[in-house]
Amino acid sequence: MVTDLKSILNTWYPNRDNQEWVVATLYKIEGSSYRKLGAMMLISSLGERLGMLSGGCLEADIQRHAKQVMSTLTSKTISYDATDEDDLTFQLGIGCGGIVHILLQPIHKANDYLQLELVSKALNENKPGRYLQQVSPILPAGSGVFTQNDELHGLSMNRKAQLVELKGATCLQTSIYPPPHLLIVGGGADAVPVYTFAKQLGWSVTVWDTRAANAKRQYFKNADAILRITPSELREYCITNKVDAAILMAHSVELDASTLAQFKDVSFKYIGLLGPKHRREQVLEHANTRVSQIKSPVFGPVGLNLGGDSPESIALSLISEIHAVLCGKNAQSLSHWGQEEC
């Protein structure tokens, strides 16, 4: 199942003219909701669903409404109210106890595919922007306008959406961010679960290792790139390709130090050094630098204190920490902090 927007659109794009398609967008929330404002799901005439708007409980009914949109080529809105005893959501005993409003729009060549082609192209080129959909008064043919906005680079990776008033119409404005780009320095066996978790989240992943026995494509099949270039060339690659986070896990002090020395003035959001504190000091010493001299935030030992010492547990801990840093969150338990979000 694909749930991140880039993967959704990349799956849809080759089949955009082979099937009929409808995009379902969560445009208004009252109370709590499983997904956030701006979440999208694409539904095809063959019954394929790309993405989710709930925990899996509403999708079948949303698909039923999507078939009507396909047959009429006319947009519509639907709502699910978990507070209403007569509503489907309440009767099934599901949902987060709030009201969600969903916009359904047909996607086809005649309405310029709602400019979702442009959104897909921007995401694949690592370019951010804003996507605008008119929800009231609803436009029967559908509404979607994408505008590239490079100023969004460097902000939180969460897509933010809000309802705005434009020229007498109510529109949903969604900020579109490229997926995070993770660099894994070292292609050993323990790098595989790190890569796997990152790809499941929809992130771009580059693996670098100069050793021929490591970073084999058969173990990193869907990696966006596997590199064996020099550390100085790797530095330029990270700048050009806007790498967000780097984890140094080559299990070689020399290799980790050679890359860290090149990364001193690169603006990552996260640099992680795998291993205990004394190894971190070894890497810093071999790189002839100190944490205070490195432009990016350095983490080491890496990861959240989740327990477990298997490669998978370590990868979960590491990816969770990077996720929190990229989202600007504190990685604390929601129940501990008294949060009421569903």
| Residue 177 in tokens | 């961010």
The beta-strand segments (E) located in 240-341 are 245-248, 270-273, 298-299
How many Cβ atoms from other residues are within 10 Å of residue 131's Cβ?
26
Strand partners, 77: 103
Using alpha carbons only, what angle is made at residue 7 by residues 183 and 199, rounded to the nearest 5 degrees?
Answer: 35
- pLDDT over 50 at 239, yes or no: yes
User: What distance in Å separates the CA atoms of residue 217 and residue 205, rounded to the nearest whole number?
Assistant: 13
Query: Rounded to two decimals, what is the model's pTM?
Result: 0.84
Q: Mean of the pLDDT values across residues 145-174?
A: 81
Residue whose entry in the numeric block shows the structure tokens 């897509």:
159
pLDDT in tens, 246-292: 999 999 999 999 999 999 999 999 999 999 999 999 999 999 999 99
> How distant is the alpha carbon of residue 43 from its chain centre?
20
Topology (CATH) of 181-327: Rossmann fold (3.40.50)
pLDDT at 151: 65
Residue whose entry in the numeric block shows the structure tokens 């080129």:
125
Three-class DSSP category at 8: helix
The beta-strand segments (E) located in 121-196 are 129-136, 145-148, 161-166, 169-176, 181-185
pLDDT at 342: 33
pLDDT in tens, 199-235: 999 999 999 999 999 999 999 999 999 999 999 999 9
Where in the chain are the domains? 5-176, 181-327
Instruction: Confirm if 26 and 53 have CB atoms less than 8 A apart.
Output: yes
Which residue in 328, 306, 326, 324 sits closest to 315, CA to CA?
306
Taking each helix axis from N to C end, the angle separating 116-124 and 5-12, rounded to the nearest 10 degrees, works out to 120
